[in-house]
Structure 1
Amino acid sequence: MKTLAFVDCPTGISGDMCLGALVSAGVPLDYLQTHIDQLQLPETVQLRAMSVRKNGIAATKVDVRLPHEGHADVPHPPVRHLHDIVQIIAQAPLPERAIAWSLAIFRRLAQAEGAIHGIDPQQVHFHEVGATDAIVDIVGTCLGFDWLGIDELHCAPLPTGTGTVRAAHGRLPVPAPAVLKLMEMAQVPIYNAGLTGELVTPTGAAIATELATRFGEPPTMQLQKIGLGAGNKELPIPNILRLWIGQVDQLSAKASAQANTTQIAPTHHPAPQNHAPHEHPPHEHPPHHHVPDEHMPHESHHSHTTTEREAQAGRETVTVLETQVDDLSPQVIGYLYDRLFAAGALDVFVQPVMMKKSRPGHLLVVIADPPQAATCEMVLLTETTTLGVRRTDQTRLRLRRELVPLQLPWGTVRMKVAFLPNSDRPLKAHPEYEDCAAIAQQHHRPWREIHDQALVQWSQQQGCQ
C-alpha cells in the first residue's frame, strides 16, 4: 500500500497552516516540539496548538511563539544566508527525510530569491523566510509528513489573491515576487479565487512546489483521515487548509499518476520512503557534466530482467549531483556506491581530478530521478567529507531497451538490445557481462571468447532477418 496526501488550499497555503493541518491529522505536538528543540536555534521556541473556528468550522491553529514577541529588550535573530540555515538543519539529529526535504525547500527559496534580485542563491539574505518562525514552519512541516509516512504528496492549484503585502523590501504586490517566481519555476496551475490579501506565502509556496509531485485534482485513494489547519485571515470562506490522507495499492497509484493532472516540470521533490508512522529511517562551481544520452545503468546493481523503466523510452528530466573531495579514503568509494544505489541512484561514477593546491582528488557524480535526488544528496553529505553538493536538472533521451536471450553453444547469454526512438528496429546490442562471466567460469574459457561469440552470433541472426 502507498500513503498519499492531498493539500486542498482554497484560501491559500502558509507554513503555520501546514503545521495546523498536520497536528489535526494526528502528528503529536510534543513530537514536533522535541525535534524543533534539537535545531539548537539561538532562541527558545515554543509550539502552541489550539482549536479555533473559521466561519463556523473547527480547525487547528499552531503558533510558533518566540521570546522576542512583545519584549523590546530581547534581540531579534540575525538575517541569515542559505549556508547559515543549511548548517542549522543539517547538524540537527532529525529524521533523514525531514532534513533532506527541509534543505531542498530552502534551496528552492534561495533560487527564487536569487533570480528576483539577480544574485547568486548563496548570497541571498533571507529576511522573513530566514526568521526562526519560518525555519520552524518548514522543518516542522517536513517532520510531520515524515511522521505520517507520506509516500507521495499532491496539491490543488494555488489561488493568487489580490492587493499588496508589507515585506522587508517595503510594500509588494500580491502574489509577492518570491511566490510568483516559485510558481513560475514549478509551472504551477494558478487561479483567481476572488479573495483579497496574501493567500500564498513564500514559505507555503516553497513547501508546495518542492514537496508536491503534481498539482491538480485529488488522487484516487481510500480516504482515511482529514487534517484542518487554520490561517490568520477572516475571509468570506473558511481560511482553512485541508490535508487529505489516504492509501492506494501500487496498481491504483500508477493509474492515478496517469490521470489528468498537471505535473511539476522540472520536478525537485524528495522521495518519501514507505514506513510506519512511528518508524524513521537512520539518519563550489566547476563546469557541469552532461548526462550521456546512451548511458546504461550500472550492471552490478541492476536487475537481470527488463524493468518497466527500461521498456519505456523518451526524454526525461534527471538530477545530477556532483561534488569533489581531496581528503576521502578510496576505501570508502565502494561503500558509497552501495549506499547511493540503495538510495535510488540511477548511476554513479567517480573521476580523478586535480584540485586546488595541486592536490589529487575525486569528482563524485550521481545521476538520479528528481524524487530520489534529496536522499542521494544526503548520502553524499553524511558518507563523505564534502562540505557541499552541486545540483542541476538535465534532460536526457532514454532509448527503449529489452533483454533478449541468445543461445550459444555453451549456454544462454542475454543481449541488452536498444531500439531507435519510435521504432522497433534494434539500434545496438551488448551481451550481459554477468552471463558471459558465468559461462566462462563454468566452461573454463576466456570471457572475451564468450563475449565476442555472442556479438558475432547476434549480428548473424540480425543479418538473416
Structure 2
Amino acid sequence: MYFLEVETIDNNNHNNHSISYKELLSKINHIEEIELQKKNSIFGKELIKDIFNISRKVFKRIALSEAKIHGKSLEDVNFHEVGAADAVADIFGSVFGFCKLGFNNKKEKVIGLPIAVGGGGSVKSVHGMIPVPAPVTLEIISERNISSFGGPVNTEIATPTGVALYAELCDEFMDFQPFVKVDKIAYGAGKKDFDFPNVLRIIRAKSNIKSQDIDVIETNVDHLSGESIGYLFDKLMKEGARDVLVIPVIMKKNRPGNIIKVISRKEDTDRLVSIIFKETGTLGIRVSQNFHRGIANREFISLDINIEGEIESIKFKIGYIDGEIISSRPEYEDIRKIAIKRNIPLNEVLNLANFEINQYISNLR
C-alpha cells in the first residue's frame, strides 16, 4: 500500500510562489537524476523513467494551454497554482499510483468518461477572479476533445491539474461505458463535501470484443443519376471505405434523393471526403468523428466441397465472441464463380456451402 497526502500549511512559504515552466522542468530533471542514482528509490527502479516522463507531459499540457491563453511562448510561461508544492505532489503522486497499478503498460487501455466541471460563479486565482470552469481547464478539455458537462454543483470540481492528468493518463474517451466484464472497482474520495459522493471511480474490466475508431461521413444528393451513384459507391470502396450505404429519402420540396453514408477509418476520412466533393459536386458533407464499433474475432478457412462430382474450394468467414462461433458465411465471390462455371443456380451452390460449413462446425463441438 502506498499513500501520499500533501497539504499546504503555510501559504506564505517560498515554495508556493510562482515558478517558470523552464525552471520547473530543470528541477524535475535534477530530481530524476538523483532518484536514478539511488539504490532504493521510493518510485521503484523499474518505474522511475515512466513516472517522470508522464509527469513532464502533464506539466507540458498545462503549460501549452497557459501559453495559448496568455499569448506567450512556452518558455515564458509561469506556473502559479500549478507550481505550488501541493500541485506538483498531486501530479507526481497520481502518476506514481497510475504506474504502480500497471496502467502504464501498453497492454492496458485506459478509457475516460465525460468530466463534470462544476460551474456557476467564479474562483479566485493569482490573476484575480476567473469563471468556472477555468480557462486553462476548458482549453485542455477542448484540445483533447473530451466530453464534459456542467454541475452537478455550483463550484469548481475540475481543475487544470486534474484535467491535465485525466487528459494524459487516458488513452481514449467515450461518452458511455463500453461493453466490458467488470473485474475490480476502486474509489478515491475528495476532501470537499457535497450532497452526493465526491469520488473518483476506477473500473478494471476485460473485453473480448475488439473496437475500432471510425468516422461516419454523410451527404444528401438529389441530382445524381443511378449510374453516377453506382460509380461513386465502387470508387469509395476501392479507396478504403469500410462500408458505403445509399439510403433513399424525400428531401425538401418533396424531391426524391439519397443519403450517401460512408464508414471510414480515421486515417482515410480526409481522402474520402475529397472524393465525395469532387464526384458529386455537393456543397456540404457531414463528418461525425470518434465513433466506436465493436469487432468480433474472425478467421477465414477454405473447405473442399463436392459439387456435381467435382471438387470446388470455397472460402468461409467465421466470427467468434468469447470463443463461441456466432456466424459462418461463404464468400460471395467464390459462390458466384462456381455458379457461373457450373451453370447452376446461385442458391443451389449456397445451400451446399452452408451444409458443409454446418457439418464442419458440428465436428468442432
**TM-score, normalised relative to structure 1:** 0.40
- The structural deviation recorded for 1:313 is 5.9
Q: Contact 1:226–1:245 at 8 Å: present in 2 too?
A: yes
Q: Contact 1:220–1:248 at 8 Å: present in 2 too?
A: yes
Alpha-carbon distance between aligned partners in 2 of 1:161 and 1:203, rounded to the nearest angstrom: 15
* Residue of structure 1 equivalent to 2:233: none
Q: After the TM superposition, which residues 312-323 of structure 1 pair with which residues of structure 2 at under 5 Å, given as runs?
A: 314=268
Q: After the TM superposition, which residues 254-265 of structure 1 pair with which residues of structure 2 at under 5 Å, given as runs?
A: 254-255=210-211, 257-258=212-213
- The structural deviation recorded for 1:154 is 1.3
Q: Contact 2:16–2:83 at 8 Å: present in 1 too?
A: no
Alpha-carbon distance between aligned partners in 1 of 2:76 and 2:57, rounded to the nearest angstrom: 17
Call closer, same or farther: CA 1:190–1:168 in 2, change over 3 Å.
Answer: same
Q: Contact 2:117–2:157 at 8 Å: present in 1 too?
A: yes
SS of the residue corresponding to residue 201 of structure 2 reads: strand
Alpha-carbon distance between aligned partners in 2 of 1:312 and 1:259, rounded to the nearest angstrom: 6
* Residue of structure 2 equivalent to 1:293: none
**TM-score, normalised relative to structure 2:** 0.50
* Residue of structure 1 equivalent to 2:178: 219
- The structural deviation recorded for 1:175 is 0.4
- The structural deviation recorded for 1:173 is 0.5
Aligned-residue RMSD, C-alpha = 2.6
Say yes or no: does 1:245 pair with 2:204: yes
Call closer, same or farther: CA 1:259–1:177 in 2, change over 3 Å.
Answer: same
Q: After the TM superposition, which residues 212-361 of structure 1 pair with which residues of structure 2 at under 5 Å, given as runs?
A: 212-216=170-174, 217-248=176-207, 252=209, 254-255=210-211, 257-258=212-213, 314=268
Alpha-carbon distance between aligned partners in 1 of 2:16 and 2:213, rounded to the nearest angstrom: 46
* Residue of structure 1 equivalent to 2:112: 155
Q: Which amino acid aligns with 1:116?
A: I
Call closer, same or farther: CA 1:198–1:71 in 2, change over 3 Å.
Answer: closer
Alpha-carbon distance between aligned partners in 1 of 2:11 and 2:155, rounded to the nearest angstrom: 28
> Over residues 13-53 of structure 1, what are the superposed CA-to-partner deviations in whole Å (9 max), with x where a residue is unaligned?
xxxxxxxxxxxxxx522xxxxxxxxxxxxxxxxx3xxxxxx
SS of the residue corresponding to residue 238 of structure 1 reads: coil
Q: Contact 2:213–2:266 at 8 Å: present in 1 too?
A: no
- The structural deviation recorded for 1:81 is 1.5
- The structural deviation recorded for 1:65 is 3.3
Say yes or no: does 1:82 pair with 2:10: no
Alpha-carbon distance between aligned partners in 2 of 1:84 and 1:222, rounded to the nearest angstrom: 45
Alpha-carbon distance between aligned partners in 1 of 2:127 and 2:110, rounded to the nearest angstrom: 32
> Over residues 384-411 of structure 1, what are the superposed CA-to-partner deviations in whole Å (9 max), with x where a residue is unaligned?
xxxxxxxxxxxxxxxxxxxxxxxxxxxx
- The structural deviation recorded for 1:222 is 3.2
Alpha-carbon distance between aligned partners in 1 of 2:207 and 2:56, rounded to the nearest angstrom: 29
- The structural deviation recorded for 1:213 is 2.0
Alpha-carbon distance between aligned partners in 1 of 2:200 and 2:77, rounded to the nearest angstrom: 29
- Runs of 4 or more, structure 1, over 3 Å off, are 74-78, 219-222, 257-260
Say yes or no: does 1:101 pair with 2:58: no
* Residue of structure 1 equivalent to 2:7: 65
* Residue of structure 1 equivalent to 2:71: 118
Q: After the TM superposition, which residues 445-464 of structure 1 pair with which residues of structure 2 at under 5 Å, given as runs?
A: none
Call closer, same or farther: CA 1:145–1:71 in 2, change over 3 Å.
Answer: closer
Alpha-carbon distance between aligned partners in 2 of 1:78 and 1:110, rounded to the nearest angstrom: 16
Residue range with higher mean Cα deviation, 80-89 or 166-175: 80-89
Larger Cα-atom Rg: 2
State the identity %. Answer: 30
Q: Contact 1:89–1:102 at 8 Å: present in 2 too?
A: no
Call closer, same or farther: CA 1:219–1:147 in 2, change over 3 Å.
Answer: farther
* Residue of structure 1 equivalent to 2:81: 128
SS of the residue corresponding to residue 175 of structure 1 reads: coil
Q: Contact 2:123–2:131 at 8 Å: present in 1 too?
A: yes
Q: Contact 2:20–2:76 at 8 Å: present in 1 too?
A: yes
- The structural deviation recorded for 1:71 is 8.0
Q: Contact 1:110–1:122 at 8 Å: present in 2 too?
A: no
Q: Which amino acid aligns with 2:136?
A: A
SS of the residue corresponding to residue 133 of structure 2 reads: coil
* Residue of structure 2 equivalent to 1:195: 153
Q: Which amino acid aligns with 2:268?
A: G
Alpha-carbon distance between aligned partners in 1 of 2:89 and 2:98, rounded to the nearest angstrom: 14
* Residue of structure 1 equivalent to 2:2: 28
Q: After the TM superposition, which residues 415-434 of structure 1 pair with which residues of structure 2 at under 5 Å, given as runs?
A: none
- The structural deviation recorded for 1:131 is 1.0
Flag structure 2 segments of 5+ consecutive residues without an equivalent: 36-42, 216-264, 271-365
- The structural deviation recorded for 1:245 is 1.8
Number of equivalences: 201
Alpha-carbon distance between aligned partners in 1 of 2:71 and 2:266, rounded to the nearest angstrom: 39
